[in-house]
Chains A and B, each alone.
Chain A
Amino acid sequence: MLSVLGMLFDGIAYGMLLFLMSVGLSVTLGMMNFVNLAHCSFAMLGGYVTVTLMNDAGWPFFATLPIAFVAAAAASVVLERVFFRRFYHAGELPQCLLTIGIVFVSIAAAAYIYGTDQQPVQLPDYLQGSLHLMGLDFAVYRLVLIAIALAITVLLVVTVEATRFGAKVRAAVNNQRMARGLGIDVDTLFAVTFALGSGLAGLGGALAIAMLGLDPSFALTYLIYVLIVVAVGGLGSIAGSFAAAMLLGVADLAGKYYIPAFGSILIYVVMLAMIMVRPTGLFGRR
């Protein structure tokens, strides 16, 4: 019984990670129908920024996180202005080709700059080990992860639900043409949202490396997981991505623990079942 709770805790922490890495993609896909397969490249960038600052410049772990966010957001703005914006109306096939090309370039660039090896990530002592509460072990890092992810979720929800900017974003996701008709500058709005989404991916990447490791293939390895979260959650839905990430995080871990022989299959089975029942995702409208 206790281990079920432990399992839930671990699964939720893993889910939070998936959520941070995928929420940006969900919103941008929902708003512009732009298929950005390079989303995890931004996560990878965040990871490398954190590793560099920690290992080479001796920064404390937490101080690197905002930089990871800013770096990924800045890189995404450049790419958005130079490449992506030309393809908003080009259909999904050219978008796939463009962003896969960017993934390839990012992988090669990372290998060239940082080498092909795993980056060592040594967390500070106070983030290691676990807390004993009510007879359960709670890993400190997972607690921190959940806290950060929850804080960001609240921030996101408040931004989207209660600010003027959020209202515009919601309008653009719901009906882009109508939003334009109302005088909302959807292009600029999208650029900002895109930067925020990529920044979150960068932050997610920075937080993920301590659990998932970091090497140049990161940009492709976790792309599938991110796509799954987005599809199951529903395009453009923060709540959907959150629920999907929790569900998949817990299902993945539970499956691997209770039926290890089929553990790797379970996440795909859950995804297929969810999408067959709700093709537009948990909270998707389209």
Chain B
Amino acid sequence: MTTQTISGPHAVLQAQARWRAAEIAFWLATLLPFVLAPDYLVLASQVAIAALFVLSLDLILGFSGIISLGHAAYFGVGAYTAGLVSVHGWGEPLSGLVIAGIASGIWGYVTSFIIARFRHLALIMITLGLGLLLQEAANAASWLTGGFDGLQGIHTWPLFGKIDFDLYGYTAYSYALAVLFVVFVAARRIIHSPFGLALRGIRENGARMPAIGASTHSHIRTIYTIAAVIAGLAGALLSQTTETVSLEALGFQRSADVLVMLILGGAGRLYGGLIGAVVYMVARDQFSGLNPQFWYFWIGLLLIGVVMFLPNGILGGLAFAAERLKAAARKRPPVSAP
């Protein structure tokens, strides 16, 4: 009995952490564009980058209940850092990526002290305000950031010193996908660790967690910093693969977009954000290709439609449907066991 209670939660976590066949299928499917849509690899690379960014938001919003309307701040810090490193003569992508992650992580850690103290609307407005402040600061510091015109002169060296970034986006997609996968595996581990469990506790009831001896604030600071690092990596990927950074990397629009992608896919499920990013980016590309002027109308309808019929996002809706099917299947055979 006692051994069971001790090993119980660990066993649950371990069971959750096991890789499922469907997950492996998912990741194999991400390779399909190479074969089936080689003309769309540039888009695919930006989808992967968006997915990484959404994953970062999912860690704080979906798993820890920290809502943010200013998450682009960390994306932008990463993007500008990677860009600046390159402009100042060091265009090696992998080390640039690491430096960018560290920079956005530092900014995340510093701001996390403020973030951890607030919730709800106050938190939304504080993240929004901090994001807008940073964007204005970047506009003012045009000697450093290039201001409105964007940072000029970014040049990314070939990957591993050998593989050039081509016009077709082969390198860009491979690179972005690899980083996404590695970060995803790490995020998955975090979620299925006791720390991850504590985060969900904070999401469900932030006031009760300290009562059972969990330090809410320090947990929030930790996950917020981790999320900031990931957002920074996404930003760095974008500036390295496109060799451009401008103020909109820090902007409200990007913060709002990533929030929309996450809710669309389903927050609090690792794959929800990824699905949301794919659906939103592909839909946007297709709608705007078909109707460059009024595509907002269709994307708006898409959002309304999804939220009307799948209030927990696409993945949430699918999971609900699957559960219903399974429950129906369970009911049908007569119960023989005692």
Residues of A within 8 A of B (CB): 29, 83, 86-87, 90, 92-94, 96-98, 100-109, 111-112, 116, 224, 227-228, 230-232, 235, 261-262, 264-265, 268-269, 271-272, 275-276, 279-280
- Contact across chains for B122 and A111 when beta carbons are under 8 A apart: no
Residues of B within 8 A of A (CB): 67, 114, 118, 121-122, 124-126, 128-130, 132-133, 136-137, 140, 252, 256, 259-260, 263-264, 267, 293-304, 306-308, 311-312
A-B pairs with beta carbons under 8 Å apart, 6 shown: A93-B267, A96-B259, A231-B122, A231-B125, A268-B132, A268-B136
Question: What 7 A-B pairs have minimum CB-CB distances, sorted nearest first?
Answer: A104-B300, A101-B303, A108-B297, A105-B300, A279-B122, A101-B304, A108-B296
Distance, CA A63 to CA B138, complexed state (A) = 45
- Contact across chains for B307 and A265 when beta carbons are under 8 A apart: no
**A232 (CB) vs chain B CBs: closest residue:** B125
B residues near A261, Cβ cutoff 8 Å: 140
B residues near A269, Cβ cutoff 8 Å: 133
- Contact across chains for A97 and B264 when beta carbons are under 8 A apart: yes
- Contact across chains for B136 and A101 when beta carbons are under 8 A apart: no
- Contact across chains for A280 and B122 when beta carbons are under 8 A apart: yes
- Contact across chains for A227 and B128 when beta carbons are under 8 A apart: yes
**B304 (CB) vs chain A CBs: closest residue:** A101
**B257 (CB) vs chain A CBs: closest residue:** A100
- Contact across chains for B294 and A224 when beta carbons are under 8 A apart: no
Give the number of residue pairs across the A-B interface with Cβ within 8 Å: 111
Tell me how far the C-beta of B128 lies from the nearest C-beta in chain A, rounded to whole angstroms: 7
- Contact across chains for B260 and A97 when beta carbons are under 8 A apart: yes
- Contact across chains for B307 and A228 when beta carbons are under 8 A apart: no
Contact of B263 among A29, A97, A265, A272 (CB under 8 A): A97
- Contact across chains for B67 and A92 when beta carbons are under 8 A apart: yes
A residues near B121, Cβ cutoff 8 Å: 29, 230-231, 235
- Contact across chains for B125 and A112 when beta carbons are under 8 A apart: no
- Contact across chains for B304 and A103 when beta carbons are under 8 A apart: no
B residues near A103, Cβ cutoff 8 Å: 300
- Contact across chains for B304 and A83 when beta carbons are under 8 A apart: yes
A residues near B118, Cβ cutoff 8 Å: 275-276, 279
Tell me how far the C-beta of A84 lies from the nearest C-beta in chain B, rounded to whole angstroms: 11
Distance, CA A227 to CA B252, complexed state (A) = 13
- Contact across chains for B130 and A272 when beta carbons are under 8 A apart: yes
Distance, CA A279 to CA B116, complexed state (A) = 13
Which of the listed residues B118, B136, B302 has the most CB atoms from chain A within 10 Å of its own CB? Answer: B136
A residues near B307, Cβ cutoff 8 Å: 87, 94, 97-98, 101
